[in-house]
């Protein structure tokens, strides 16, 4: 029995040894085979990944091109709207400037003296002679009908604030003439509010001392300044230019308007035969 066990052990050991030796001999082959298989699989995955990256890059490039083009088109459209808004604002400014002579008239009027004689038919006729050429009611209705939306949408607040000041000064002068031409009203209350000065000081506080000393009438002496400031700020916003020297033009315009106002007012006073105490 021992002999049989010995034979079985020798036969089993020989098979195991043969298999072990075979596996040892082929270990390099299997190692190279599985390594190459893994490398091949990895290379395929890598190529697929690179291909996907290229596809994504092409897609991203198309998206970037589209966004860049859309941004340029948007900027171009916005700039066009801003120029249209600026043109509209300057048209409004030009319309209001037709009342510039009214400012000169009101500056020269002795308001206190006019109020004392507010029921004098000759004084009322005098004011009417000054105000009639402006067609105040008709012109103000025409101005109200103009659409002012575009400038407020596309121009910055600084530009619009300056324009609002100029507009308020013009309206104040025109309505002062209109109010003084009416009879049977308590006109003194109209000049007690100082509402114009308060409105301007909310936007531009640099004139506080002038308004405290002279009231709303001080604004009349700022009209030409704000008239040119509107153009300056529009130019600065659209073109980035701050160098706009208008001092000589401003002085010339102011001198012409003042001289014309003096001639017209003294001519009317002489024609009606009233005291020149109602003007300064």
Q: Which helix (DSSP H) or strand (DSSP E) does residue 50 occupy? A: helix 2-97
Q: Which residue has the tokens 């002489």?
A: 270
- Through-space distance between the first and last CA atoms of the chain, rounded to whole angstroms: 152
**Residue bearing the bigger pLDDT, 108 or 192:** 108
Out of 46-50, 191-195, 219-223, 248-252, give the one with best mean pLDDT.
219-223
Q: What is the pLDDT of residues 121-174, one digit of tens each?
A: 888 888 899 899 999 999 999 999 999 999 999 999 999 999 999 999 999 999
| Among 109, 170, 162, 165, CA closest to 134 | 170
DSSP secondary structure, 159-200, as one string: HHHHHHHHHHHHHHHHHHHHHHT--SS-GGGGGS--HHHHHH
Burial state string for 26-42 with b = 16 or more CB within 10 A and e = fewer than 16: eeeeeeeeeeeeeeeee
Confidence at residue 121, expressed as pLDDT on a 0 to 100 scale: 87
User: Residues 43-58: what's their mean pLDDT?
Assistant: 62
Question: What is the pLDDT confidence band of residue 97, given thresholds at 50, 70 and 90?
Answer: very high
CB 101 within 8 A of CB 257: yes
Confidence at residue 117, expressed as pLDDT on a 0 to 100 scale: 83
List 279's β-bridge partners, or say none: 109
Burial state string for 88-125 with b = 16 or more CB within 10 A and e = fewer than 16: bbeebbeebbebbbbbbbbbbbebebbbebbeeeebbe
Mean pLDDT estimate for the chain:
75
CA atoms within 13 A of residue 18's CA, in its CB half-sphere: 5
């Amino acid at each position: 029995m021992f002999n049989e066990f010995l034979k079985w052990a020798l036969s089993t050991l020989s098979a195991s040894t043969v298999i072990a030796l075979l596996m040892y001999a082929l270990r390099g082959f299997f190692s190279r085979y599985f390594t190459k298989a893994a490398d091949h699989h990895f290379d395929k995955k890598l190529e697929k990944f690179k291909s996907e990256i290229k596809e994504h890059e092409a897609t991203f490039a198309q998206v970037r091109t589209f966004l860049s083009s859309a941004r340029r088109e948007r900027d171009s459209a916005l700039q066009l709207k801003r120029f249209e808004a600026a043109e509209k604002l300057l048209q409004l400014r030009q319309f209001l400037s037709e009342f510039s002579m009214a400012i000169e008239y009101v500056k020269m009027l002795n308001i206190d003296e006019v109020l004392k004689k507010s029921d004098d038919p000759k004084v009322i006729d005098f004011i009417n002679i000054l105000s009639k050429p402006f067609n105040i009611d008709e012109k103000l209705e025409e101005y109200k009908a103009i659409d002012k939306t575009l400038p407020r949408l596309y121009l910055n607040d600084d530009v619009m604030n300056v324009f609002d000041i100029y507009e308020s000064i013009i309206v104040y002068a025109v309505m002062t003439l209109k109010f003084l031409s009416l009879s049977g009203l308590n006109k003194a209350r109209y000049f007690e509010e100082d509402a114009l000065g308060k409105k301007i000081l909310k936007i531009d506080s640099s004139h506080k001392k002038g308004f405290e000393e002279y009231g709303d009438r001080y604004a009349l002496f700022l009209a030409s300044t704000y008239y040119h400031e509107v153009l300056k700020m529009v130019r600065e916003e659209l073109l980035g230019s701050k160098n706009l020297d208008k001092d000589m033009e401003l002085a010339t315009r102011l001198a012409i308007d003042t001289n014309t106002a003096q001639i017209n007012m003294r001519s009317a006073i002489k024609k009606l035969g009233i005291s020149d105490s109602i003007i300064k």
